Structure 1
Amino acid sequence: MKTINDLFILDGMKECVVLAGHRGLTRNVESVNISDTPDVINFLYKNHLLLTTGYGFYEDTNQFCDLIREMHALNCSGIIIKVNRFMHKIPEEAKLLADDLAFPIIDLPTNRTLGDLSRHILNYLNDHEAEQLYYALHVQQEFSDMMVKGYNLNSLVEHLGHFLVRPVLLLNHRGEMIARSHDFRMDSIKRAETEIVRAIKEDTAPYQDGTTFDIPSLNQQAVTTFPVKTKRQQPSMLVIIDFQTLPYPSSQMAVEQAGNVISSTLIKEQAIEENTRLLKNNFFADLIEKRVQAEDEVMSRTAFYGLDPDKASICVLCTVDSEGENYESLQLYEKKISELHNSIYDQLEDDIINGNMQATLFTKEKFFVMILQFNQYTEAEINLVTEFTQKAQKNVQGEYSVSFGISNPVESVTEIPTAYQEAAEAITNGYDQNMTGFINYYKTKEIKELLNTLPRKDIKALYENTLKSLAYPETKEDQELIKTIEIYLNCQCEISVTARKLYIHRNTVKYRIKKAEELLNCSFHDPADSLRVRVALTIGNILEDETKTLSSVQ
């Protein structure tokens, strides 16, 4: 049965003011009677609520007090009166009497009609579905007002627990705690919380859709989850213990209305997070492009974003491969690109947390940037990074393929720009080889690779100026001289070792080296001369390979 207190969820009652008899708001209400006649008591029964303008007794305080006593004796519900219509104010004697008897007297604003109010109350009393709807709208209004006033998520969840008289949890899409009602501070419920979170974290998917399940510590009390939509691809979850035995008129509709307001609050907080993310990414761009020069500033700002200056850092870049029909169609829709970008960011964030990695996630242009940190970087850490990246690629990759580039370790956060360039180059190298959906480690370029990037006329000039007449050996003697120089330098200028490799006498090696130094006007024991000749010999191999390739094509 409904009480007077329950009626205040109705639109017609929200502007009403209780003038006296507040303790009697728990009185039951079964029906409504509208009357302005002095003998109205003859038409009232137990649990009846009287709606009146007060015309029948506005000039007679004693008659009004007698009506209050008689209605109290009949166990009537109370009086709703349009005070400003005729009475203008309730006599003090009547107020004191109503307070003493705990008999509610409620003022109805003059802009409301008794007929409309009567209809709303009777519909509410007689229609269970309407009652549930009114209750749900009341819950929505309460929670909307709280959101507008800036209440945080914990307050909203606490209030929902109060409404439902049930323990309530709010978990994010990973099953991590966001907020809880006060019930979970009790020892008897703490264990249930641990079991609920553990069960949901094992496989979040079925719980995100909404389901009911049991846990060991709760006897005959099931646990029910409700999805809470946010900007993320996967919803957060409201978790309610013993939802299935909610007292009437609480219903799933009421929970959904509260969930909608909690969803809006979560979305608002996510917007704040996105703004924070933007500031973080702007700093990272400044760091990579070396607009932050002072080392102290780099140290303090990287520490602010969770990077430890005393640990080795690895840069892992992720990007969507810009090939295929799916990518081409994606380019036509900025909204879809934004959704994909946010989805990948969220998934990588999840992978970092689920992989228990010490890492910070940034974005820069088309790249998602993960800075992973380790106390040391051994073979075990290399395997860990590989395993983490493979799992992340599997989780992120769907309709569109993604590729990863991984840098070498750097010892200081001030060297992160170097790590970023290495990881970006690892991705570029993969694309240069026409690969997609790859994971590439950065390799330090060998001298031969570096020389191949230079203009041919420049390396050819260096080659000829260094080796002079030996640049293009035509006689057998010149060819043997070039071979001797190469092996001699490879053997760290050790004459005996060179002689053994060439199967000649050591004096012959001495003679050839002396002759070569005279021809080239250098000393192989001079580091600068030695390096210059080594580079020239490497260029000779490059030019020889190109000549052979050209000949085979012709």
Structure 2
Amino acid sequence: MKLKTVNDLFILEGMEEATVLAGHRGLTRPVQFVNISDAPDIIEFSDENHLLLTTAYAFKDDPQKLCDLIRQMNALNCSGLVIKMKRFLLELPEEVRLLANELSFPIIDLPMEYTLGEVSYHILNFLNNHKAEQLYYALHVHNEFSDMLIKGFSLPSIVEQLGYFLKRPVLLLNHRGEKLAYGHDFRKASMKQAEEEIISKIRENLAAAREGTSFNIPSDLEKTVKTFPIQTQRQHPAILIIINAQSLPYPSSQLAIEQACNVISFTLIKEQAIEENARLYKNNFFADLIEGRINSENEILSRCDYYGLKGDLKTICIVCNIDPADDDYTSLHNHEKMVSELHNSIYDLLEDEMIHMDLIGTLFTKEKYFVLLLQFEEYTDNEMQLIKTFLEKAQSHIEADCTLSFGISNQVHSPKSIPVAYHEAVEAINSGYDLKMNGFIRFYKVREIKELLSMIPMNNLRELYESTLKTLAYPKSKEDEELLKTIQVFLDSQCEISETSRKLYIHRNTVKYRIEKTEAITELSFQDPSDSLRVRVALLIGSLLDVPRK
């Protein structure tokens, strides 16, 4: 087995805090044994590759004698001197320092809090016990990585350092098999193909990779890839990949890898906590948008763009809910507990499926709902089928004893109309629950709402209709008819004035005037989603009541 060097000892307790005072080039000198002595004739008991631990009491008043000792030890090819400087010498004499540097003979200052006996014990254990050396090295790796974690080193820096420690190519993937960080080896052009093959193999069987597996790289069968799970707050672990991990260079060991995995795990959890905080800001923006607390159109477009929503694409809103439990207290309590525990895993599931199917969109949460805003250049039957396939996959991949239901809105043409789409999606999912359904995918359709309204007694419908539209409920003039027609087209156009103007062949200002007059008559605001929905329902009720028109 290769001899240890003075430099190898700095992973040991006591030696970690020691300082090299002189002879730095001699740290590669081999070490086979350690002596402790303060006697002036210690050279009589020294030999090749011996390391001397001393307080230097015999030389405290005679630097020349210490120089003589160093020359004699160097002639014997001794390893070096470890001196407890603060005990008697206080500082290293200049002539001793110059001589040690000239001879490349290491002189090391040992901290006062460690005894010579303690340090000698650790060194001898390290030199003579193969397993102990691996343990010391693993602890050294853990301490180094923990220090990097405390100092805020990035994940790529930590993974790269692991590659240097293990002298092996290292790659870190997230739970989806996407690259998060890599060691220096993967910067080489020669490793590009290997990297692509590794990631491809991992994605072929993500479940096995997350648990820990081994395989050979197809283009280089001599290289074995081993995966290690990195636990985080997500449902599935991240994946650490090490090439040829079965033949780590001594004294690296599986224990050292485990220590590094722990620190990488903590780093990922820290980054996920930062991500959770960013998610909170994102959800607050969505709540402000839905509840009408953002009035500036420019601000809406700017903040939507920040969260990946484009103003020139059509938007579909999908709300997802974990199907509710029975009404008894125990079931409700257990359901609430389950929802809390599953929140992150379902969020990840929806995000994973959305990324897997290359869908453009953003995921939010609002109250009990997971809310997906998907965007398309065109929204046809093909896109509707794509959405249905996406949601069916999410339903089938949930790893829990529950079911998911989805409500899907009609398309809207601008981020400003997202509140309308959200309320349509909520209405769609609630209509499914009203029909006692579970595990369903339900698109918002006017026909379905009419069906539900027809189940309500006519006198109740008429009361809601009249109280909402007031004098417009039974139009008596051509102007009333025009106001009703305008608000119907305005609502059908997702409250977009330009689109309403185009469909009615009237000026934008005329549309604005009619909307303002309707708001004055009904004492409702089309900017308020609940008021807007109330008017929509009232107009539907009017078609059910067959209200006569002039």
TM bracket, shorter-chain basis: 0.7 to 0.9
Partner of 2:110: 108
CA deviation after TM superposition for structure 1 residue 325, in Å: 9.6
In 2, Cα distance between equivalents of 1:455 and 1:99: 102
Asked if the contact 1:448–1:539 (Cα under 8 Å) also holds between the matched residues in 2, the reply is no
C-alpha distance 106-333 of structure 1, shift in aligned 2 (>3 A): farther
SS at match of 1:309: coil
Alpha-carbon distance, 1:327 to partner: 10
Q: Distance in 1 between matches of 2:339 and 2:460?
A: 45
TM-score with structure 1 setting the length: 0.80
SS of the counterpart of 2:92?
A: coil
Q: What SS does structure 2 have at the residue aligned with 1:64?
A: helix
With over 3 angstroms needed to count, the CA separation of the structure-2 counterparts of 1:248 and 1:326, relative to structure 1, is: farther
Q: Which runs of 5+ in 1 are unaligned?
A: 464-533, 542-554
Deviates further, 332-341 or 214-223: 332-341
Which amino acid in the other structure matches residue 263 of structure 1? Answer: S
Counterpart position of 1:201: 203
Distance 1:128 1:73, change over 3 A: same
Aligned-residue offset at 1:125: 1.3
Counterpart for residue 222 of structure 2? 220
Distance 2:196 2:430 in 1: 46
Match of 1:480 in 2: none
**Other-structure match for 2:431:** 429
Specify the code of the residue in structure 1 equivalent to 2:174: N
Task: Map residues 439-518 of structure 1 onto 2, 5 A cutoff.
Answer: 439-445=441-447, 450=453, 453=456, 455-456=458-459, 459=462
Contact in 1 for aligned 2:326/2:332 (Cα 8 Å): no
Partner of 2:320: 318
**Relative to 1, partners in 2 of residues 1:265 and 1:327: Cα closer, same or farther, differing over 3 Å?**
farther
Instruction: Tell me which residue corresponds to 2:91.
Output: 89
Aligned counterpart, 1:182: 184
Matches within 5 A, 1:159-174: 159-174=161-176
235, 239, 244: which one aligns with 1:237? 239
Within 2, Cα distance between the matches of 1:286 and 1:271? 23
Structure 1 residues 536, 17: CA separation in 2 closer, same or farther (over 3 Å shift)? closer
Distance change (3 Å), C-alpha of 1:454 and 1:376: farther
Indicate conservation of the 8 Å contact 1:24/1:103, yes or no.
yes
Q: Describe the shift of the 1:112–1:415 C-alpha distance in structure 2 as closer, same or farther (beyond 3 A).
A: same
Q: Please name the residue that 1:546 is paired with.
A: none
Map of 2:510 onto structure 1 = none
| Matched AA of 1:139 | V
Question: What whole-Å deviation, never above 9, does each CA across 1:415-474 have from its counterpart, x for those lacking one?
Answer: 1111111111111111111111111111114767546546526649999xxxxxxxxxxx
Q: How far did residue 334 of structure 1 move?
A: 6.4
2:356 aligned residue (354, 361, 364): 354
Following the alignment from structure 2 to structure 1, what is the Cα–Cα distance between the partners of residues 355 and 465? 53
**Distance across 1 between alignment mates of 2:375 and 2:91:** 74
* Structural mapping, 1:12-27, within 5 Å: 12-27=14-29
Q: Is the 8 A contact 1:326 1:400 kept in 2?
A: no
Q: Distance in 1 between matches of 2:329 and 2:391?
A: 22
- Alpha-carbon distance in structure 1 between the residues aligned to 2:339 and 2:242: 36
Map Cα deviations across residues 41-68 of structure 1 (whole Å, 9 max, x no partner).
1211111111111123333333222211
Task: Please name the residue that 2:77 is paired with.
Answer: 75
Alpha-carbon separation, structure 1, partners of 2:179 and 2:173: 5
Q: State the TM-score, normalized to the length of structure 2.
A: 0.81
Structure 1 residue 217: Cα displacement: 2.9
Aligned in 2, Cα 1:449/1:216: closer, same or farther, shift over 3 Å? closer
* SS of the residue 1:19 aligns to: strand
CA contact (8 A) 1:175 1:201 kept: yes
The higher radius of gyration belongs to: 1
- Counterpart in 2 of 1:364? 366
Q: Which residue of 1 aligns with 2:6?
A: 4
8 Å contact from structure 1 (residues 46, 77) kept in 2: yes
Q: Give unmatched runs, 5+ long, in structure 2.
A: 467-539
Alignment: residue pair count:
471
> Percent identity at matched positions?
56
In structure 2, distance between residues paired with 1:9 and 1:260: 19
TM-aligned CA deviation for residue 109 of structure 1: 2.3
Q: Deviations over 1:294-325 (max 9, x none)?
A: 21111111111101111111111110111259
Secondary structure of the 2:396 match is helix
| Cα distance, 1:265–1:325 mapped onto 2, change above 3 Å | farther
1:458 and 1:334 map into 2 onto residues whose CA distance is 35
The aligned runs of 1:341-420 (5 Å cut-off) are 341-396=343-398, 398-420=400-422
Shift of 1:398: 2.9
Q: C-alpha displacement at 1:18, in angstroms?
A: 0.9
AA at the equivalent of 1:179: A
The change in CA–CA distance for 1:94 and 1:180 in structure 2 (over 3 A counts) is same
User: Aligned letter for 1:293?
Assistant: N
Contact 2:405 2:441 survives alignment (8 Å): yes
Residue in structure 1 matched with residue 286 of structure 2 by the alignment: 284
3-state SS, counterpart of residue 119 of structure 1 = helix
Distance 1:366 1:15, change over 3 A: same
Task: Pick closer, same or farther for the CA change 1:451–1:21 going to 2, 3 Å.
Answer: same
- 1:295 aligned partner: 297
RMSD of aligned residue pairs (Cα, Å): 2.5
How far apart, CA to CA, are the structure 1 residues paired with 2:318 and 2:8? 59
CA distance, structure 2, for counterparts of residue 459 and residue 402 of structure 1: 36
Give distance in 2, aligned partners of 1:111 and 1:462: 86
Partner secondary structure for residue 348 of structure 1: helix
